[in-house]
Amino acid sequence: MEDKIWQGFLYDFYGELLNEHQREVYESYIIEDLSLSEIADEVSMSRQGVHDLIKRCNKKLQMYEGKLHLVDKFLHIRDDVSKINELAKEATEDNLSKICDISNDILEEL
């Protein structure tokens, strides 16, 4: 998965655990796709300071994911729901059985 997309997922799940300043800078970089220089001008920091802050935020968000695995669970469930949708298009008895198995796996994971 592309790094920026992964960082976006991490921010979606754990961004509220960052302080307000960290969120502002990280959102500018990940969501608004501003350059380090643009962010530095916006928040009155050096470019290197912005770089270091983003790096620390990434490390912190990765730590949360390493402990909680919420993004991994979400992506796994999203894949399972996609499989269910594909199987539901052809409602054979075998596919219905597979749908039940996948949905049971999702419920157990939740």
Give the DSSP letter string of 32-88: S---HHHHHHHHT--HHHHHHHHHHHHHHHHHHHHHH-HHHHHHHHHHHHHHHHHHH
pLDDT tens digits, one per residue of 19-41:
999 999 999 999 999 999 999 99
For residues 86 and 99, is the Cβ–Cβ distance under 8 A? no
Q: Which residue has the tokens 């962010």?
A: 39
Q: Comparing 94 with 14, which gets the higher pLDDT?
A: 14
Q: Comparing 90 with 60, which gets the higher pLDDT?
A: 60
Residues 6+ away with beta carbon under 8 Å from 95 = 87, 88
Residue 110 — pLDDT band, cuts 50, 70, 90?
Answer: low
Mean pLDDT, residues 73-87 taken together? 84
pLDDT tens digits, one per residue of 37-72:
999 999 999 999 999 999 999 999 999 999 999 999
- Which pair of tokens denotes residue 38? 């643009």
Helices 47-68, 36-43: crossing angle, 10 deg rounding: 100
Q: What pLDDT sits at residue 87?
A: 76
Given a cut of 70, whether residue 1 has pLDDT beyond it is: no
* Arithmetic mean of pLDDT over the chain: 90
Cα 36 to Cα 28, 64, 68, 97, distances in angstroms? 9, 24, 29, 51
Helices vs. strands in the chain: H and E counts, helices first: 6, 0
